[in-house]
Amino acid sequence: MAMVKVLNEGYVRLVDHMGSDLTVVNAARVSYAKQSLELDDRDIRLIKFLAREGHTSPFRHAMLQFEVYAPLMVARQWWKYVVGSAHYEGTGDSLDAWNESSRRYITEEPVFYCPEAGEWRSQPENSKQGSGDSIQWELGEKYSRELMAYTEAGIAKYEAALADGICAEQARLFLPAYGMYVRWYWTASVQSVAHFLNQRLEHDAQREIQDYAKAILTLMKPLFPVSLEQLMHDRTSE
């Protein structure tokens, strides 16, 4: 399946999907015991109507499944869309699923995200969260070196604990958390993915998760072009 590389070691991979824009149309038309066999202009007008008027349940009949490999700081931002999807979609239960690899069971070599010298950002001037412009290269180089040294020290202590017979679920406490890459499967409806994209493609979203949102958009757009265009806020050209 298609895959898009993100950051230095991360990626988003399209694992599977169910349905198309026609799925959305037929989920709506079943109210009148009707069915379309090929997407035509009338069907496209129906999708536009559904999105415009907030009749979103038909968009929950089409699904996508992704494998994501990202730093933990990105994963934990992302996770709240699973927690919140039941409330957002108006269902009794979430239509999102999330299954993540666990270092209770695996001891594969840990991989960490470390910004390059030119990738460190300053604090924002008018907000308590987010970031501002890039900092001076020399200062960025300093903190890249310090983060790499900190990470390498944690890995050494983790490996020493394993060698001494400490169980993996406790030895992992030595690993620096927020920069460590984790891997998970995310399965979500077209509506839920579009909601994620609308928020995480905004200019004030954390830049790292913006990069992952762009990867999701790249993989999703060929599969649901009409639905995505209507559910998003004119962002499908990004």
pLDDT along the chain (238 residues), means of 10: 91 97 95 87 95 93 96 91 58 66 77 93 78 89 96 96 93 93 94 93 92 97 96 68
Q: What is the identity of the amino acid at 124? A: P
Computed on alpha carbons and rounded to an integer, the radius of gyration of the chain in Å comes to 21
SS (H, E, C) the chain: CCEEEECCCEEEEEEEEECCHHHHHHHHHHHHCCCCCCCCHHHHHHHHHHHHHCCCHHHHCCEEEEEEEEEHHHHHHHHHHHHHHHHHHCCCCCCCEEEECCCCCCCCCCCECCCCHHHCECCCCCCCCCCCCECCHHHHHHHHHHHHHHHHHHHHHHHHHHHCCCCHHHHHHHCCCCCEEEEEEEEEEHHHHHHHHHHHCCCCCCHHHHHHHHHHHHHHCCCCHHHHHHHCCCCCCC
Which single residue is written with the structure tokens 């907030």? 54
- In this prediction, residue 238 carries a pLDDT of 55
How do the domains of the chain map onto residue ranges? Answer: 3-105+181-231, 117-174
Q: What value, to the nearest 5°, has the Cα angle with vertex 213 and ends 212 and 218? A: 95
Q: What is the identity of the amino acid at 97? A: A
- In this prediction, residue 79 carries a pLDDT of 86
Full strand arrangement of the beta sheet holding 181-189: 3-6, 10-18, 63-71, 181-189, 97-100
What's the pLDDT tens digit per position in 77-106?
998 877 655 545 554 445 678 888 877 776
- In this prediction, residue 75 carries a pLDDT of 94
- In this prediction, residue 143 carries a pLDDT of 95
- C-alpha 202/C-alpha 169 separation (Å) is 37
- C-alpha 155/C-alpha 158 separation (Å) is 5
Query: 10: which residues sit within 8 A by CB, 6+ positions away?
Result: 68, 69, 70, 71, 74, 113, 181, 212
pTM: 0.88
- In this prediction, residue 91 carries a pLDDT of 47
| C-beta of residue 113 within 8 angstroms of C-beta of residue 151 | no
Residues carrying an active site annotation: 200
- In this prediction, residue 92 carries a pLDDT of 44
Question: What's the CATH architecture for 3-105+181-231?
Answer: 2-Layer Sandwich (3.30)
Tokens of 223: 């599969």
Query: 156: which residues sit within 8 A by CB, 6+ positions away?
Result: none
